[in-house]
Amino acid sequence: MKNKLFVLAFILSVAVNVGVIVTLGYHKVVSSKTPPAYCINNHKMTWCSELELSEDQKKVICAQQKEIKVKIEGVRKEIYRCKSELVNLLSEPQPDKTKIQSKITEVSSFQAQIQGIVIDNLIRHKEILTPVQQKKMLSLVSERMCPGNCLKNNPNK
């Protein structure tokens, strides 16, 4: 009888421990994929702290980031589609260079769209920032776009 109780207690203990481990693992995976409350990605999180945004500014930027994410996701899907077609063209026995060049141009066009969306979004961010925050934002953008500091020759810095 003691053996049966011991086995039952052991099985129950193992089940509880497995349940706890699975739950903790699940929450770790889900939380690592969840963006911060006000900022969509890690460099934006840096912006939130370095720009010392007010709560109202954080809310506006969060809304703008959600909009841009939707816009960019659609364009990224098109880029993926084009790249897939490009790979298919390359896999043909005699690849058609004209079609390949056309696909490359199409991918470049979509990438330019993303750059335009990002720049428009930065301009929208700038509109809600104070002059000091704008200057800091420009410094952060400069660091990301050209790490060698592309502002050094800019008379408007």
Q: Is the pLDDT of residue 35 over 70?
A: no
- Distance, CA of 7 to CA of 5 (rounded, Å): 5
| For range 52-81, the mean pLDDT | 89
Q: Is the pLDDT of residue 43 over 70?
A: no
With the CA atoms of 154, 155, 156 and 157 taken in that order, what torsion angle do they form, in degrees rounded to the nearest 10?
60
Q: Please, how many CA atoms are within 13 Å of residue 72, restricted to the half-sphere of its CB?
A: 17
DSSP-assigned letters across all residues of 16-60:
HHHHHHHHHHHHHHHHHHSPPSS-SSHHHHHHHHHTT--HHHHHH
Place of tokens 């039952």: 8
Percent residues over pLDDT 70 in the chain: 66
pTM above the 0.95 mark? no
Q: Answer yes or no: are the C-beta atoms of 144 and 43 closer than 8 Å.
A: yes
Query: What are 85-144's pLDDT values in tens digits?
Result: 999 999 999 989 999 999 999 999 999 999 999 999 989 989 999 999 889 888 888 877
CB atoms within 10 A of CB 133: 19
Helix (H, G, I), strand (E, B) or coil at 70: helix
Q: Is the pLDDT of residue 34 over 90?
A: no
Q: Answer yes or no: are the C-beta atoms of 66 and 36 closer than 8 Å.
A: no
